[in-house]
Structure 1
Amino acid sequence: MSHKKGSWVHLFLLLIVILVLIWSLIKPVEGYGVLLMEISPSVLVLLFLIARYNHFRFTTVSYVIIALLVILTFIGGHYSYAKVPLFTWIKDYFDLKRNDYDRFGHFLKGLMVIVIIELLVRKTALLKSKTTNFIAVCIVLAIGALYEIIEWLSTKLGHEGKSTKDFLGMQGDIWDSQKDMALLLVGSILSLFFIKILYKGLDKSRQ
């Protein structure tokens, strides 16, 4: 993919993300408090990537992953993770105990391992190897654990009101954080099967 064509694809992805963001801001189900807590990290990452675009440009594979994960966050913020309609329907149809949109989101966040590997290969002395893949998985898990700690701190530094409970999205499961981390790990490991796609993209970007 040429540099110019890649830029147009990236712009298209950004446009889609912005449209979903605008939609998420329109009458969020649980109010703007929950929405802002859920989408703020993604918005900050998005602004950082835009600001650094001319200085460091990821491959299109990584931008597709980032766009997908950001959109998932905006959808979760709009409805609150426990009330995303499709997964509420799945819950009711299969007689499940909870809405599993947050579980689905944590599983897909494992795709971030591909973005981390690209960053490591391009910006450090690390080469394409199983060791690099392992380090990337560890970094993704560390990011996931940090987010779980932030969620926990939100209950300790503030008051445990409705907004905080909606932000946590535990739905009565005391093992919610552990299950989220387990799914993140599984998602990260499975994502490594697609790593050759990233490496092909990296090789082309260097030609």
Structure 2
Amino acid sequence: MKFAWLSLFCGVLIWSGINPKDQFTWLLEVIPAMIGLALIASTYKYFKLTSLLYFFILVHCIVLMIGGHYTYAEVPLFDNLFGSERNNYDKVGHFFQGFV
């Protein structure tokens, strides 16, 4: 399970880094995910979390990486969602930031 989650994290990280909308924005968005991975990896042996929490952390990291690739204002799936004038992906990002 750990290998699959780490593979998914790395795969999405690599994808998000390939031709992002803005390289500096991408870097600012994915640095927290990379710092989180480093902290989890360094403390895993001594401070284990539940599988559910690791899953939510992974999902939050993926949300950050997708937001970094497109920028939060331009994620394609969330354009004009529910008839809104603005892109609502930032709401997803803020939800996971608060929830996790």
Common topology (TM > 0.5): yes
State the partner residue of 1:105: 93
Structure 2: distance between partners of 1:12 and 1:64: 11
Of all paired residues, the percent bearing the same amino acid is 38
1:55-204 to structure 2, matched below 5 A, reads 55-88=46-79, 91=80, 94-112=82-100
1:27 matched to 2:15? The reply is no
1:10 matched to 2:8? The reply is no
How many angstroms does 1:33 deviate by? 0.7
Aligned residue pairs total 100
Structure 1: distance between partners of 2:91 and 2:82: 16
How many angstroms does 1:111 deviate by? 2.6
Structure 1: distance between partners of 2:86 and 2:4: 35
CA RMSD of aligned residues (A): 1.3
Structure 2 unpaired stretches of 5+:
none
Q: Write the letter of the residue equivalent to 2:67.
A: G
Bigger-Rg structure (1/2): 1
SS at 1:27 equivalent: coil
Name the structure, 1 or 2, with higher relative contact order (CA <8 Å, separation 6+).
2
Structure 1: distance between partners of 2:35 and 2:66: 16
How many angstroms does 1:67 deviate by? 0.3
Q: Deviations over 1:137-175 (max 9, x none)?
A: xxxxxxxxxxxxxxxxxxxxxxxxxxxxxxxxxxxxxxx
TM-score (norm 1): 0.46
SS at 2:83 equivalent: coil
How many angstroms does 1:95 deviate by? 3.2
- Kept in 2, the 8 Å contact 1:34–1:80? The answer is yes
